[in-house]
Homo-oligomer: A and B are copies of this chain.
């Protein structure tokens, strides 16, 4: 029975069998230094917007989980609570649409948020529900926002003064430009 702990192995410099077999096909010099990860060059991938977006998003979301996630909120839940906080009384479909979530998948999300005691459904009429944050939900959201603001400050620091806002603007322009 093997109950080993995940031992992190230090990698000694690798001895490469036949270096020539791994010769790079293209020259990496496009004016910028070659982008690599783990000693492997990414080639044209380094110039692709979608890939850069993906990796950055993963890194940022990972940061979210390590910080805001510690108090039990996932990114999607956070986004839902922010929208409800901003405009109490919205119907499920409205919130789901605004966030790009299928209303069918949104049901389970609201169920969970209700179970956690952070959100409640109030009957608007006999088929639609108005969504509201509970008192506990408001508290949770405040807590989460405080942590998130620190994260945003970190991004500010990483990117340099004013750059984060410029990034936000670019991302938004890209999004709406493509959805149009």
Taking chain A's interface residues, is the majority helix, strand, or loop, or is none over half, making it mixed? Answer: helix
For the complex, is A108 an interface residue (Cβ under 8 Å from B)?
no
Interface size class of A (residues with CB under 8 A): 35 or more
In angstroms, Cα B52 to Cα A56, docked, is: 11
Q: What residue in chain B is nearest A52 (Cβ atoms)? A: B171
Give chain B residues whose Cβ lies under 8 Å from the Cβ of A24: 86-87
Within A78-103, the residues touching B (CB, 8 Å) are 79, 82-83, 85-90, 94-95, 97-100
Chain A interface (Cβ < 8 Å from any Cβ of B): 1-3, 5, 7-9, 17, 21-26, 35-64, 75, 79, 82-83, 85-90, 94-95, 97-100, 124-125, 130, 132, 135, 138-139, 141-142, 145, 148, 151-152, 155, 158-159, 163-164, 166-168, 170-175, 177-179
